[in-house]
Chain A
Amino acid sequence: METLRLWASYGAEAGWLSDSFSYAFMVNALVAALLLGPLLGGLGTLVIAKRLAFFSEAVGHAALTGIALGVLLGEPPENPIIGLFCFCMIFALLLHFVRNRTAVPYDTLVGVFLAFALAGGAALLMYVARKINIHMLENVLFGSILTITDFDLLVLAVSCGLIVVVLIPTFNRILLSSISPDIARVRGYNTHFYDYLFVMMITLVTIAAVKIVGAVLVGALLLIPGATARLLTKSMGSFVLLSSFLATLSCLIGTVLPMELKLPIPSGASIIIVAGVFFLFATIYRIVRKG
């Protein structure tokens, strides 16, 4: 990382790159965006195919409660990763467990869990506010590239690597388990296993992305690039590739643009605005082409 930051610094000094690249946090943020973008975009296509958009939002919101719990249990306020990981994982797995054992419609169940987690988080924040500067929460909610450390990048790289290694051989099976679970089961695939595996991947990527995109908006980055790509592609392969490309582009532009324009916008917000603009253009393109 140090070498990369040095190169960026030389590049900025020599005038090849913008001045922003002389800042270490900017390089960190771009590396994070390059790691996260393709993965969020790729997983987003499965989120759409499995109709889990609301679920990924809920996990993002549960991150808030996880962070509050972690801080209360004595973790450092700037990086309560154990509380965040444990709470989000338990939240997601419990939600899926209950879903498989009740007849309550899935969106209702996610709504209940989401509200419960948020209420718990709101209650805990009162206590957390006594321990830390409450403005730190803005970073958690909407992301902040300024706070990304080498440790965060390491966590992000390990999480992304793990997910890619698991996702490549299981992508087809996860997709078949969601679009035709009976056929998948007759073929001998354990559909429950693939369901839980996917939920764990979504949770892991959400946790890894909280620092850069923020808890409130991470679900949107799983959803919007995929939704945009769905409007423009005709096959599953191009759907995944375009979604990954758009998510990466949104992350890069959303990170660089506020710095270049000197706008005081949180990175998560700018990334989602860029992704939203792509979606808007794609929708207009479809309407114009159709009409």
Chain B
Amino acid sequence: MGPEIEIKGVSLQYAQHIILEKITHRFEAGKCHVVMGPNGGGKTSLLRSILGLTPFKGEININWLGDKGRIGYVPQKATFEPSLPLTVMDFILLNQSRFPLFFRANKKHQQVALQQLARVGMADRALLRMGQLSGGEQQRVLFAQALLDDPDLLILDEPTTGMDDQGVRYFESLLTELVKEKKTVIAVHHDISAVRRLQAQVHVVNRTLLDSGSVSEVLQPAKIEQLFNHYGSAKRTTNMTPDTNKKAEVA
């Protein structure tokens, strides 16, 4: 079972620019959560704060039910130099073991890597250079990398960016599978129809937490209009839990 994530009064700013302002929230364990909001609204910063990749004020607790589990992460974008001879297989092996890439490859490691790549439909691309792949294909490989250790918590930052329909189908079926296994998934997503298909919990972040609830509660036609407005122009919605409502007022 995946962990619960508890966020208490988290604020984040770069120089004078405020990114997140006193967010208090709880991501339930074993569910799929989608974080939505406009560009520059602080979604990525929230994810990076949860992962401890950026300094913030406040408190974030990852409450594991039992032993500390594993975390999988798909970053928003990874840049791979086209001329670097790093194959898709190399990249997966790199994440998988300490066994140096310049030694004769371990057959077992290779098999596991190929299995993971097959889950995202990339096994036939294993010998291509990472830099040769399209953005969508790179995202698929990054997703395979995140699934390597059978993670209990999966954090995905715009995982379907640049993906074709087939890639999105692989992604959605894997996500559904993971949620069935009671893993906790938190993903930043922009595609409203895809979020509807996932039947996830939706959380709208734009410097503060503006809205949170099920797809039917948050993604109503009247609210969608304001979903991607920049901070200041976004109106507070009323369909919030008492806790988040209070936070919105403070902000």
Which A residues contact B (CB, under 8 angstroms)? 42, 48-49, 167-173, 175-176, 179-180, 182-183, 185-187, 230, 233-241
Contact = CB atoms under 8 A, between A and B. Distances in A.
Contacts of A230: 83-85
Q: Decide if the interface of chain A is mainly helix, strand, loop or mixed.
A: helix
Contacts of A234: 85, 87, 127, 129
* 4 tightest Cβ-Cβ pairs between the two chains A and B: A240-B102, A171-B100, A186-B73, A236-B90
Given A171-B102, A173-B98, A237-B105, A186 B84 contact: no
B240 interface: no
A176 B129 CA distance: 15
Contact of B101 (A172, A180, A187): A172
Given A171-B102, A241-B102, A186 B51 contact: yes
Contacts of A241: 102
A235 B127 contact: yes
A183 B145 contact: yes
Contact of A42 (B85, B91, B93, B102): B102
Contacts of B250: none
Interface in B151-205: 155
Interface residues of B, number: 35
Interface in B117-172: 127, 129, 142, 145, 155
Given A180-B75, A186-B51, A172 B85 contact: no
Nearest to B78: A180
A175 B101 contact: yes
B53 interface: yes
Contact of B100 (A168, A180, A186): A168
Contacts of B102: 42, 171, 236-237, 240-241
A245 to B, nearest CB: 11
B101 A237 contact: yes
B63 interface: no
Nearest to A235: B87
Nearest to B98: A169
Contact of B73 (A173, A182, A233): A182
B85 A233 contact: yes
A276 B81 CA distance: 23
B124 to A, nearest CB: 16
Contacts of B73: 182-183, 186
B215 interface: no
B80 to A, nearest CB: 7
Contacts of A173: 98
A238 B80 contact: no
B218 to A, nearest CB: 28
B94 interface: yes
A182 B127 CA distance: 24
12 contacts: A170-B98, A171-B101, A175-B94, A179-B78, A179-B80, A182-B73, A182-B75, A185-B53, A234-B87, A236-B94, A236-B102, A237-B90
Given A172-B94, A182-B75, A49 B101 contact: no
B86 interface: yes
A176 B97 CA distance: 11
B71 interface: yes
Contacts of A240: 101-102
B87 A172 contact: no
Contact of B95 (A48, A187, A236, A237): A187
B86 A179 contact: yes
